[in-house]
Structure 1
């Protein structure tokens, strides 16, 4: 059917689109979703305007996708831009909604499977009661996006890394989204310097004095020595570690106050309130 539609004249496609616009406002959009997909795939490759402009020619200026099932559609076309539509209680499987301004779209109650929002602006978008399975949010703007009543079995991808359940909620929270209550350790796990901090905590918990240069320039710390230095300085400033000198080598030692908090961090058992500030700062990637 797609090959047949693609081979038709522009006039024929225009007439089909005109008919679909009329039907979309009268009938249940869910029953017309397959027709929409055929026409979208026929027109989007050569469309030169914005994404929402093409949608207007197909489903009208106010048409939405509530209760629709859409599969393997690439929604970015032409110049992209804003996509102002409702996808409430829809089923989106392997759909690509990347690089779009979706700030006024709604996905409450939607089933999203293997979908991509890579690089899209999702500021304030409603995902309440949605189910997310293998959804890519790499580079997406998530400030104030509402995931408060999201299905707890969610799984996300970000920069090629998979996040599930609490770790997924922590990732969303770390990007500024609204999520159900989640332990601060899961938010810390999404921080770019988390592995550095965890390994420093593990090392100083082993007992005895640790060489400052070893803590800040070797192992995981070699990836970002400046971040390692900031974490060690944080530990000293809050009284969880102290500097000492052994000959010419500067060393770091664990304090009594730091034993439990750093052990919990090293074992990923929780995050002490005094350490939350470190994981709330720094550049997000």
Structure 2
């Protein structure tokens, strides 16, 4: 049997505990005085089964199923039977693709019955942490019965709006090949989400606070009013995502996001989220505004003046990164003149001279240490004018 760790074999102690768990009712019927002998009898019968293989590992015997297909079929069947039996609590199981395929091969009426049974358990999900693995198990079956629409069948199970709080969910594709779909007011608080695809979704007022999001995709998604406070993001893809009025306060400090194949972690991730207009903890302006399309112009001018403190104005505003937008480059130099960081050399407007305050400000910028307020305000103004 697969368990929540995904282990595919058991040692003798684990084998006996598994017998006690799975045959508890049968063993108790024999009475406490025969408990040990009944466990031993089951153990003797099962370890001689032709469907099991035994091998030695680190000085102990390990039993595994002889074929993966047998193991996965029996594991899926056991989960289906467990749900129908009304036994509680339901445990977390490591659900494989083969198990999902098996369940999706069931008749539509049987799949609907499983959904009904799962919905009956849902109010007691706090005492049934394994409900998440049943959602994973039924995921492909839901597509068979209801097509690519997935929010509606899930709401049949969880109620509306969708509540998946405190569960483990993995390898779930909400997009299912669609470029338009929506989710409203869903609740994933304190859940563990792994390899879940939210791409291209319109996701509104959905709660992800205190959740662990690992390998999640929000590519091309539009998120509005979603709450990620105190969440941990691991390899979460936000490429081309539009995030409006979302909150990421108290984000785990080791969080990592992916933006167009670039990994951003810690302060860089928080800065990117703030740049998109999200609420976050405070972070230095350099982590926010280096995401601006105008930042390469600012950085190039700063680095050139640090290399040589007197430069031709035309070279600073017309060459390199500045060539893409000479107007912004000229605007930046004038802004730095007003801030007292540079000045025309000897009254010549064609030569720009770096001043001592500018050397400090530009040095901090190019080393990634900090961004002076004068530069942050300039980039903010540019963004406001050109968005």
Bin of the TM-score, shorter chain as denominator length = 0.7 to 0.9
Who is 2:224 aligned against? 123
By relative contact order (CA 8 Å, sep 6+), the higher-ranking structure is: 1
Deviations 1:70-126 (A, max 9, x none): 111111246511243111111111111122222221111111111112222333322
Who is 2:210 aligned against? 109
- Judged with a 3 Å threshold, the aligned counterparts in structure 2 of structure 1 residues 194 and 242 are, in CA distance, closer, same or farther, namely same
User: Quick check: 1:153 aligned with 2:238?
Assistant: no
- Judged with a 3 Å threshold, the aligned counterparts in structure 2 of structure 1 residues 274 and 7 are, in CA distance, closer, same or farther, namely same
Find the aligned partners of 1:202 and 1:116 in 2 and give their Cα distance: 36
- Which moves more between the two structures, 123-132 or 86-95? 123-132
- Which moves more between the two structures, 215-224 or 145-154? 215-224
Structure in which a larger fraction of residues adopt helix: 2
Question: SS in structure 1 opposite 2:249?
Answer: coil
- Which moves more between the two structures, 223-232 or 201-210? 223-232
- Judged with a 3 Å threshold, the aligned counterparts in structure 2 of structure 1 residues 68 and 205 are, in CA distance, closer, same or farther, namely same
Who is 1:72 aligned against? 171
Who is 1:38 aligned against? 137
Who is 2:45 aligned against? none
Deviations 1:5-63 (A, max 9, x none): 22223232222222222222234463111221122222237745754323213322244
Find the aligned partners of 1:57 and 1:39 in 2 and give their Cα distance: 13
Q: 1:266 aligns with which of 363, 366, 386?
A: 366
Structure with greater Cα Rg: 2
| Unmatched segments (≥5 aa) in structure 2 | 1-98
Question: SS in structure 2 opposite 1:26?
Answer: helix
The Cα of 1:224 is off from its aligned counterpart by 4.3
Deviations 1:149-196 (A, max 9, x none): 111111111122111111111111111111112111111222222232
- Which moves more between the two structures, 231-240 or 10-19? 231-240
Who is 2:6 aligned against? none
Structure in which a larger fraction of residues adopt strand: 2
Q: How does 1:1-285 map to 2 (within 5 A)?
A: 1-28=99-126, 30-44=129-143, 47=146, 50-77=149-176, 80-243=181-344, 250-280=350-380, 281-282=382-383
Q: Is the 8 A contact 2:135 2:169 kept in 1?
A: no
> RMSD over aligned Cα, in angstroms?
2.8
Find the aligned partners of 2:174 and 2:270 in 1 and give their Cα distance: 26
Question: SS in structure 1 opposite 2:124?
Answer: coil
TM-score by length of 2: 0.66
The Cα of 1:257 is off from its aligned counterpart by 4.1
